[in-house]
């Protein structure tokens, strides 16, 4: 039976199978916190699959003209339950992707706000999903682990005692989602992502260096890294992250043995990443000045074990470190030029 389920999931992934709702329509998807690093790209990805008007981006910040032209955008504060209810009802939403959050480094700078956005925000969306029977996806992170967890590798199930408010809020989200699944049958799904790397500006996390390094090196030929050269962390290109999210959201419930899965593509250190970049820009210069983010990174997984995701719903990364550097060199250069900024390389 397990083998049959696995084959079904494999076939559906190969065919680019598109899940449909009970009335045989593509799902209507609402993304909260949609103007951050992951949201804008996620909307583009899912709109190609389910149709432009079926993916609604929401956030509390003013959208750029590009975002407005790309598809529906609505103001929504994650702390306003009634406002969220209205959007779900008016737009007949089926799936909720909950991206609103304060990330690890920025969360430490404003703990009360992180508690509100990350924890109260989660309470709102999970109640909303329960009330309207929505499928709900909430990303978790390598930051949901702490110094007591095994770091190399970090398995799907192990001790979780994070030391950041971000990590605490994500463990809370994982447990609350699992609880609602067992208690109320809520279709809660959660992936623990590693550092996600894309050409868009990151939101204030500990893994941001792996994006900033490309912008600084292409623009100025130099990067000062806030982590030590040998700090190993799990990472993933946004292309793999969005494919993982989409495949996991479409996975038939029967194939899932868990509601929360680790996923990853690779692990590297700043020094190893810089070595790969030298192939493209031989004369660039990197210096190291560790700050408070070093303590966070030192408490996180170094290598993430995603074997359960590979086993249950056929997760398989496609972008390795060489592909990642090649993609980022191209995408970041294009972005810098599009913004009218001069480059030294």
Ligand X SMILES: NC(=O)c1ccc[n+]([C@@H]2O[C@H](COP(=O)([O-])OP(=O)(O)OC[C@H]3O[C@@H](n4cnc5c(N)ncnc54)[C@H](O)[C@@H]3O)[C@@H](O)[C@H]2O)c1
Ligand Y SMILES: C[C@@H](O)[C@H](N)C(=O)O
Which residues are near ligand X by CB under 6 A? Answer: 32-33, 35-39, 59-61, 77-79, 99-101, 103, 117, 139, 141, 193, 195-196, 203, 205, 207
From 145, 179, 175, 174, select the one nearest 162 (Cα to Cα).
145
SS3 content of the chain, % helix, strand, coil (to 5): 45, 15, 40
Least Å distance, CB 143 to ligand Y, is: 5
Residue 70, classified by CB atoms within 10 Å of its CB into exposed (0-12), middle (13-18) or buried (19+), is: middle
Paired strand residues for 224: 287
Q: In whole angstroms, give the CA distance from residue 53 to residue 79.
A: 25
Paired strand residues for 196: 236
**Among ligand X, ligand Y, none, residue 35 binds (CB under 5-8 Å by kind):** ligand X
Interface of this chain with ligand Y, residues 199 to 218, rule: CB under 6 A: 205-207
- How far is C-alpha 209 from the geometric centre of its chain's CA atoms? 16
**Among ligand Y, ligand X, none, residue 206 binds (CB under 5-8 Å by kind):** ligand Y
Q: Is 280 a catalytic residue?
A: no
Minimal CB distance residue for ligand Y: 205
What lies within 8 Å, CB to CB, of 23 at 6+ separation is none
Residue of 162, 195, 270, 317 that binds ligand Y (CB under 6 A): 195
**Among ligand Y, ligand X, none, residue 317 binds (CB under 5-8 Å by kind):** none
**Among ligand Y, ligand X, none, residue 59 binds (CB under 5-8 Å by kind):** ligand X
**Among ligand Y, ligand X, none, residue 104 binds (CB under 5-8 Å by kind):** ligand Y
Binding mask 90-129 for ligand Y (x = CB under 6 A): -------------xx-------------------------
Pick the piece of the chain touching ligand Y (CB under 6 A) from 140-148, 244-252, 304-312, 325-333: 140-148
Pick the piece of the chain touching ligand Y (CB under 6 A) from 4-12, 138-146, 213-221, 330-338: 138-146
Q: What angle do CA 74, 249, 53 make, to 5 degrees?
A: 35
* Residue 143 near ligand Y by CB under 6 A: yes
Least Å distance, CB 47 to ligand X, is: 17
What lies within 8 Å, CB to CB, of 89 at 6+ separation is 132
Residue of 13, 32, 118, 141 that binds ligand Y (CB under 6 A): 141
Task: Report whether 244 contacts 38 (CB < 8 A).
Answer: no
Task: State the pairing for strand pair 95-98/140-141.
Answer: unpaired
Pick 19 or 60: Cβ nearer ligand X: 60
Task: Report whether 267 contacts 312 (CB < 8 A).
Answer: no
Binding mask 163-182 for ligand Y (x = CB under 6 A): ---x----------------
Structure-token pair, residue 266: 């690779």
Least Å distance, CB 39 to ligand Y, is: 14
Least Å distance, CB 88 to ligand Y, is: 26
* Residue 142 near ligand Y by CB under 6 A: yes
**DSSP secondary structure string for all residues of 7-67:** HHHHHHHHTT-----TTSSPPPEEEETTTSTTHHHHHHHHHHHH-GGGEEEEESSPPPHHH
Find the helix or strand (DSSP H, E) in which 262 lies: strand 260-262
Least Å distance, CB 184 to ligand X, is: 22
By three-state DSSP, how is residue 281 classified?
Answer: coil
| Annotated active-site residue in 166, 181, 209, 261 | 166
Kindly list the catalytic residues.
166
Binding site for ligand Y (CB under 6 A): 103-104, 141-143, 166, 195, 205-207
């Amino acid at each position: 039976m397990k083998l049959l389920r696995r084959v079904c999931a494999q076939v559906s992934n190969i065919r680019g199978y598109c899940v449909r709702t009970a009335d045989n329509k593509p799902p209507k998807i609402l993304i909260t916190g949609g103007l951050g690093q992951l949201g804008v790209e996620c909307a583009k990805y899912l709109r190609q699959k389910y149709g432009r008007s079926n993916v609604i981006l929401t956030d509390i910040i003013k959208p750029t003209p590009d975002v407005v032209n790309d598809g529906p955008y609505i103001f929504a504060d994650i702390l306003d339950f009634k406002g969220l209810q209205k959007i779900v009802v008016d737009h007949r939403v089926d799936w909720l992707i909950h991206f609103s959050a304060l990330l690890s480094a920025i969360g430490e700078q404003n703990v009360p706000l992180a508690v509100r956005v990350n924890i109260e925000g989660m309470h709102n969306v999970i109640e909303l999903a329960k009330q309207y029977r929505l499928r709900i996806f909430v990303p978790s992170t390598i930051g949901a682990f702490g110094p007591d967890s095994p770091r190399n590798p970090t398995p799907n199930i192990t001790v979780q005692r994070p030391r950041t408010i971000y990590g605490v809020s994500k463990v809370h989200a994982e447990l609350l989602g699992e609880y609602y699944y067992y208690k109320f049958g809520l279709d809660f799904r959660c992936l623990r992502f590693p550092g996600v790397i894309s050409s868009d500006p990151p939101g204030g996390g500990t893994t941001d260096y792996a994006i900033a390094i490309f912008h600084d090196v292409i623009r100025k030929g130099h990067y000062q890294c806030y982590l030590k050269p040998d700090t190993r962390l799990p990472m993933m290109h946004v292309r793999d992250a969005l494919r993982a999210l989409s495949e996991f959201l479409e996975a038939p419930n029967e194939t899932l043995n868990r509601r929360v899965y680790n996923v990853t593509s690779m692990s590297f250190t700043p020094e190893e990443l810089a070595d790969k970049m030298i192939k493209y820009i031989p004369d660039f210069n990197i210096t190291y000045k560790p700050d408070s983010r070093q303590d966070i990174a030192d408490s996180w997984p170094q290598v993430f074990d995603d074997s359960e995701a590979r086993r249950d719903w056929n997760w398989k990364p496609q972008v390795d470190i060489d592909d990642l550097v090649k993609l980022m060199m191209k995408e970041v250069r294009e972005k810098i030029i599009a913004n009218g900024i001069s480059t030294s390389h």
